[in-house]
Structure 1
Amino acid sequence: MTALARRNDAVLVRSATTAHRELWHDSVRIRQEWLDVALSTQPADRATAERCVTAIYARISRPRPRFEWVDSPAKALPLVAGWPTLDDLYRWIRDPLPPGRPPLASDLAAVTAGLRAALSAGVSHADPELTPARQPGKKQEHWPDLPPLDALARGVPLPVVLHQSVRGSLHRSLGKGFRHPVRAALAADLPVCWYGQQDACWIGYYDTLQRLGLATFSAGITDHFGQWTDLARSCGWWWPGEGVCVLSDRPATVRVTPMPGTWHDEVTVSAITYRDGWQI
């Protein structure tokens, strides 16, 4: 390779790295939008939430349910007692299948999984969400989790950095930081629910890729995804049942502290108080 060719290659590498840094900076802004959604203490937008749930029910051939609103997940427990748990849903993917019709939550889980697979298929690169990226070479080691700009400078692919700094960051903040302590304070065999604003973990990730121009979805998938994004922006946890859906309002107050030893602005929720006074 001539000296001129080497210089040209170096310019291309620097240009690519600069473009990747700009995309990463944009992703941080979008990630913060979704973290704000997930930690919002605004009253639920009940009309939007009910519209979205009705549309999601229609996708599994169910009519509009009756809506029961509660001020906290704790207040939902008496209303959802006896509804399917995660163990119940697992029985519907094993042999032999239980008799009768699958519960609504099982159908909803299948449709949601299909949506997430379709979103992944629309990503312009191999999506680390479904196929964990590994370094080239015989060992096929995982890429290290480094400070994002250091990672890009050291050649970690942009898709890996975005997955770590958006999907991974939101999961750590909202999974470990929020959902886990709330679930631990509720019943051990909590019926299956979806997390509303805390579903920002996966919703925010694919929204980020789409807004950065790194994912393209069909009109049908965009419409379906839009129902979930609007729902996440509208309410707290929700329990889908036959003929009735129980939804929780968002918390009244949420206090967070930075999560130590992390690179992507993760937070730990130190206190949560719901509108009925129930608190963690």
Structure 2
Amino acid sequence: MSAVPLPSTFPRRGTFSDNPDIYAENIRAVCAQRDRWLGYGLKAGPADRSVAEGAVAQLYRLSGFDEPDFHWVPSPRAAATFIASRHLARTTTLPTASIEVDASIATLLSDSRHRMDRIIERRHIEWPREHRWSEANGRNDVRARSIVARGTPTEAALAGISPDPIVDRTVRKSLHTSLFDGVAVAIRTTTPRPFGSITWYGQQEAHRVAYYDIFRHFGLLSFGREDCELLDIQSALVESTGWWWAFENIAVMCERPTAVHVEPLPDSLHGEVRLHNSIEPALKFGDGSAVHVLSGTVVPSWVIHDPTVERITVERNVEVRRSAIERIGWDSYLDQAGLRLVDTDDDPGNPGCTLQLFATPAGWGGEGRILLAVNGSRERDGERRRYGLRVPGAFASAVDAAGWTYGLAGADYAQLLRRT
């Protein structure tokens, strides 16, 4: 899946142009490639079975095993059931050849990544010294890290930061947040039991594959023939299939989801997204298995379809409880739950807004307080959201509780001109 480099913008030293405007355009091209990989990781619909099976068969052969038979399932939940029914999972007392298959493939891919990492770490690019990404640069290194962490990729490019840290942050870390920490972790909640084997995440492996492929795609460096072949195989799997598992003589292959719903991560600088659907499951598979997710938080279906004060009171997961309250609305929840108001005061960090401190319901467990405040910045729709924060039960002052959330004493918080 390698692409032809663009020779007019990539000088002989294997990096981007020193011209700030051209370099910024190079980085925007990197972001476009990242978004292409993100699209693969979020793609819904039938797998390309022939491509996926061909790629897995190649991995078996390269690891020294015969090509397997293939068994397709509609979801990871169905895969777990099939693996258990066929007794394919590992046991601690009876080693089998299946251990050798998945471990050998994992070692093959891991060794390849290590080789490519060493090539990236060893490469010395000619870049303006004051901005070069190097541990030897002391304060400049700290400054570079700060710019990459807090600015957009284009801003980092215009500041003269070398391409390697930008690619790492805006490709590998961004895709890992969106696809692995977000989608893959949510899908994992649908499986009733461990698989007993290494899981490959197919389309959600994009964060690993895209990072190395972008170095190759833009001609920033060259990898060995074997590693390029493995990159092509992994690229094919990202583009063609969902999760899969390797066993002796059989590979269990999972279809992609039938629906994936996401929204941009708030204040995202690198294109991160999170699962979200306030009406129906954010993730659905062909066999009916599904995951409800609100703003990145996996929740039970009742949070979306029938949130009640009674259910909220007995819910032990803090994030699920918060999501359910926000579905009802804090004002409505406080009214229905009949919480005792402990203190109210003007918000010194948010002029014109009020802080309210309530006692928590007995069913929440432990003594505590709820601080109800108004967001310092507006949402995308222009509104300023009210939200509740759990604070220690020792607070009797709403201002003191608000200061605590910022690591400040109440008296210091009262001196703020405006919080965000």
Q: Is this a same-fold pair by TM over 0.5? A: yes
CA contact (8 A) 1:20 1:158 kept: no
Alignment of 1:148-167 (within 5 A): 148-167=153-172
CA contact (8 A) 1:80 1:239 kept: no
Among 226, 231, 235, the residue aligned to 2:241: 235
**Aligned partner of 1:106: which letter?**
A
Percent identical pairs in the alignment equals: 28
Determine if the alignment matches structure 1 residue 226 to structure 2 residue 232.
Answer: yes
Distance (Å, rounded) in 2 between the aligned partners of 1:279 and 1:134 = 46
Structure 2 stretches lacking a partner, 5+ long:
1-16, 126-132, 277-281, 292-420
Which residue does the alignment assign to 2:287? 276
Describe the SS at the equivalent of 1:233. helix
String of CA shifts for 1:176-216, please: whole Å, max 9, x gaps: 22011111332463432101111111111111111111121
TM-score, normalization by structure 1: 0.81
1:157 Cα deviation after fit: 2.4
Distance (Å, rounded) in 1 between the aligned partners of 2:26 and 2:231 = 22
CA contact (8 A) 1:134 1:143 kept: no
TM-score, normalization by structure 2: 0.55
Determine if the alignment matches structure 1 residue 36 to structure 2 residue 47.
Answer: no
Which residue does the alignment assign to 1:136? 137
1:140 Cα deviation after fit: 6.4
Among 237, 243, 255, the residue aligned to 1:249: 255
Which residue does the alignment assign to 2:77? 74
CA contact (8 A) 2:101 2:247 kept: yes
Q: Which has the higher contact order (CA 8 A, sep 6+)?
A: 1
Describe the SS at the equivalent of 1:245. strand
Describe the SS at the equivalent of 1:69. strand
Which residue does the alignment assign to 2:105? 108
Q: Which has the larger radius of gyration?
A: 2
Describe the SS at the equivalent of 1:261. coil
1:36 Cα deviation after fit: 0.8
Using a 3 Å threshold, how does the CA distance of structure 1 residues 236 and 114 change in structure 2: closer, same or farther? Answer: same
Structure 1 stretches lacking a partner, 5+ long:
1-13, 89-97
CA contact (8 A) 1:44 1:236 kept: yes
Using a 3 Å threshold, how does the CA distance of structure 1 residues 76 and 230 change in structure 2: closer, same or farther? Answer: same
CA contact (8 A) 1:17 1:153 kept: yes
**Aligned partner of 1:277: which letter?**
G
Among 184, 197, 200, the residue aligned to 2:203: 197
Q: Greater share of helix residues, 1 or 2?
A: 1
Describe the SS at the equivalent of 1:61. coil
Distance (Å, rounded) in 2 between the aligned partners of 1:150 and 1:18 = 11
CA contact (8 A) 2:21 2:158 kept: no
Distance (Å, rounded) in 2 between the aligned partners of 1:236 and 1:21 = 34
Distance (Å, rounded) in 2 between the aligned partners of 1:150 and 1:99 = 53
Compute the RMSD of aligned alpha carbons: 2.7
Distance (Å, rounded) in 2 between the aligned partners of 1:177 and 1:233 = 18
Which residue does the alignment assign to 2:270? 264
1:109 Cα deviation after fit: 1.3
CA contact (8 A) 1:173 1:266 kept: yes
CA contact (8 A) 1:76 1:248 kept: yes
Describe the SS at the equivalent of 1:156. coil
Q: Greater share of strand residues, 1 or 2?
A: 2
Describe the SS at the equivalent of 1:143. helix
String of CA shifts for 1:8-51, please: whole Å, max 9, x gaps: xxxxxx94433321221111111111111111113111111111
